[in-house]
Amino acid sequence: MKEKTEFLEREYKNMLERGETWTIRDLNGPSQPHVVVEGKKCIMLASNNYLNLANDPRLREAAKKAIDKYGAGAGSDWSIAGNMDIHRELNEKIAEFKRTEAGVTYQTGYAVNSGLIPQLAGRGDILISDELNHGSIIDGVRLTKADRAIYAHSDMGELETVLKDAEKKNYRRTIILTDGVFSMDGDIAKMDEIQKLADEYGAMTYVDDAHGEGVLGEGHGIATEFNLEKKIDFQVGTFSKAFGSFGGMLAGSEMLIKYAYNTSRTWLLSAAFPPHVAAASIAALDIVEKEPERVKKLWDNTKYFKKEIESLGFDTGNSQTPIIPSMVGDSKKAQELAKRLYDEGIFCLAIVYPMVGRGKARIRNQMNAGMSREDLDVILRAYEKCGKELDII
């Protein structure tokens, strides 16, 4: 008899044997620097909540007021009857914050990439992607009928070689796609060099700035960091990380935004997110504008932690941002390190294949503006103890 779903158990057991499964733990309360994880008090080291906004009382209050005014849900897709004035207000706020002509929200950042990229390129075009781009970019590229090229991570020489080859083939459109901050290594795209090459070879630039917003460019992201707000063609982002809310965003020219929401299936065929989500996102953008000290505190914590954990003997890879990996290599050892740190009251996760390549497992440490120096020192002491026990340092 032909096998049906029996393969699932077999495949899962193989993943378990290789140390490539995830342990999903439950938070008993809000995401903040000090959390309760399955009844255990911990310092949070695994959250994207860089600016400590996810539990900010102003976001909570904005959301509550929006529920009172608009109800719990939008009731329809944005494209049909779910677009409320508060959604429009957020779109205008995105454009203002990103310093572009227009902006629009999507259900998630993933939905921007998987929904928009297939509408930007097809037969006769080429998409050129950094090898370490986020899976949502990869999936968006796979959904197109365009030719594809991958350049070695942040290798500008190889990128230029690919662009030269594309120029010879006279493609209709050439788009370079890159993360702004690479989410597993914490390094920054060489956006100034990428844009220069794009201009030279007539290519467009597409940047997913999910981990750069709230972090780079005084909080405005990689385009502001490199003074390229008017040059980058497609700016993608999310509210679910530094901004402490939820939903994806796209910023660029007015015609891009109109084209995007008329063609992206992920936008057209999904319900609008609840109005209280839009309200919280508006509040978050206002706070980042008015409180630059949050971004400064995030970077102060980042510099201190990176310096100190490296002094203990840990390899932090290519990190340039508040994403600071502790490289381990072996998946099982990385998972054991995460477990022992959890026992010490530090909540972090082992990042294993397929999030990273085999043999490149690590703990991804993510800084938070709400952490104190004492919090960081507690984490460092735990790392020293556990790292020695496992012969990592």
Does one domain contain both 199 and 108?
A: yes
- 305 and 264 co-located in one domain: no
Is 238 inside any structural domain? Answer: yes
pTM > 0.85: yes or no: yes
Question: In this structure, what is the dihedral angle of CA atoms 122, 128, 130, 136, given to the nearest 10 degrees?
Answer: -10
The terminus-to-terminus CA distance of the chain in angstroms comes to 52
CATH number reported for the structural domain that contains residue 187 in this entry: 3.40.640.10
Model confidence pLDDT, tens digit, residues 170-222 = 999 999 999 999 999 999 999 999 999 999 999 999 999 999 999 999 999 99
Residue in the structure block whose two tokens are 């779910």: 82
CB under 8 Å to 289, separation ≥6 — which residues? 97, 219
Q: Is residue 334 one of the residues assigned to a domain?
A: yes
> Which candidate, 138, 80, 93, places its Cα nearest to that of 245?
93
Q: Are residues 61 and 96 in the same domain?
A: yes
Q: How far is CA 51 from CA 54, 152, 255, in A?
A: 8, 31, 32
**CATH number of the CATH domain containing 363:** 3.90.1150.10
pLDDT of residue 354: 84
Residues 34 and 108 in one domain: no
Does pLDDT of 1 surpass 80? no
Q: Does residue 177 share a domain with residue 230?
A: yes
Length of the chain: 393
Do 250 and 334 belong to one domain? no
Q: What is the pLDDT of residues 223-253, one digit of tens each?
A: 999 999 999 999 999 999 999 999 999 999 9
- Domain ends where: 290, 325, 344? 290
Judge if 277 and 301 occupy the same domain. no
Residue 34 in domain? yes
The predicted structure's pLDDT at residue 358: 87
- Strand ranges for 180-224 from DSSP E: 204-208
Number of domains in the chain: 2
Cβ-based burial of 281 (10 A; exposed 0-12, middle 13-18, buried ≥19): buried
The Cα 161–Cα 128 span in angstroms is 11
Please tell me whether residues 366 and 239 are part of one structural domain. Answer: no
Cβ neighbourhood burial of 340 (10 Å; 0-12, 13-18, 19+): middle
Give the residue numbers annotated as catalytic, written as ranges: 183, 211, 241
Residue 376: give the domain boundaries: 6-55+292-389
pLDDT digits (tens, 9 = 90+) for 77-119: 999 999 999 999 999 999 999 999 999 999 999 999 999 999 9
Q: Residue 1: inside a domain, yes or no?
A: no
- Judgement on whether residues 298 and 361 belong to the same structural domain of the protein: yes
| Mean of pLDDT over the chain | 96
- Write the DSSP symbol of residue 270: S
* Alpha-carbon dihedral sign for residues 321, 322, 323, 326: positive
Instruction: Indicate whether 80 belongs to any domain.
Output: yes
Q: Do residues 39 and 87 share a domain? A: no
154 with 36, same domain: the answer is no
Q: Give the pLDDT mean for 338-354.
A: 94
For 366, the enclosing helix (H) or strand (E) is strand 361-366
